[in-house]
A = this chain, B = another copy of it.
Amino acid sequence: MPRPQQFDRKQVLQQALKVFWHQGYEATSMTDLMRATGLSKSSFYNTFASKHECLLEAFDSYRADRLRDMDRVLAGDNAKESIATFFRMIVSDAKAPEFINGCMSINQAVELAPHDEAIATRVDEDFQKIEDALAEAIERGQRAGSIATRRDARNIAQLMVVAFPGFQVLVRAGSPQTRLNHALDELLAILD
């Protein structure tokens, strides 16, 4: 008797996410996805329409989690400390076993964004959200006094958005901790 096709969509997405994240999109085959999710080919296509749709849904769930993490950290009372914590988190997360495959957004930016419109739109949206959240935090700190610089908050936020994937690439490439620490000190010194 065939097993009835019952499954938890969220769990299936998490399993698909791991495969895409680990192998990249192009190198992931339908066989890999079926093995990871336990779905038959027909169930998979009934659920996601295509491999690409599955990637987008898995990526969206990953993005939502990461943006929630960011908002939580940046909401701290002391804006300057919150921004420091945000960047320290990027560096330590990038070293965590969970993120052994790097930040999925950065991987997507490198692998797919240049020739995949749906991915490019998402990656760009995320960079914009990070910029907005950092600009808002810097302005808050300038008003409250934790951030002394009178330089334009939006411009500083734009440099910080550049540093964001920069730190992740360097961690992924195994850069020494002293380089990461000094770079972070210099970045935060802009707020003084």
Binding site for B on A (CB under 8 A): 23-24, 26-27, 100-102, 106-107, 109-111, 113-114, 120, 123-124, 127, 131, 151, 154-156, 158-159, 161-167, 169-170, 172-175, 179-180, 182-183, 185-187, 189-190
Q: Tell me, in angstroms, the Cα distance from A47 to B187 when the chains sit together.
A: 47
19 A–B contacts, CB within 8 A, in A order:
A102-B114, A109-B169, A109-B172, A110-B110, A110-B172, A113-B173, A123-B174, A124-B175, A131-B179, A151-B186, A155-B185, A159-B186, A161-B170, A162-B179, A163-B166, A165-B165, A165-B169, A166-B166, A166-B167
Q: Which of A109, A165, A173 has the most CB of B within 10 A?
A: A173
Question: Cβ of A158 and Cβ of B186 under 8 Å apart?
Answer: yes
* Contact residues in B for A164 (Cβ distance below 8 Å): 166
- When A123-B173, A165-B170, A183-B158 are in contact, do A24 and B111 touch as well, CB less than 8 Å? yes
Given A24-B26, A163-B162, A186-B155: A169 in contact with B110 (beta carbons within 8 A):
yes
CA distance A183 to B156 in the complex (A): 7
The number of times this chain is found in the oligomer is 2
B182 touches A113 (CB 8 A): no
Given contacts A127-B170, A162-B170, 17 further A-B contacts (CB under 8 A): A24-B24, A106-B169, A107-B110, A113-B172, A114-B172, A120-B174, A123-B173, A151-B189, A154-B182, A155-B185, A159-B187, A161-B170, A161-B175, A162-B180, A162-B183, A165-B165, A165-B166
CB-based contact A109/B173 at 8 Å = yes
A131 contacts which chain B residues (CB < 8 A)?
179
Report the separation of the CA atoms of residues A187 and B170 in the bound assembly, to the nearest whole angstrom. Answer: 18
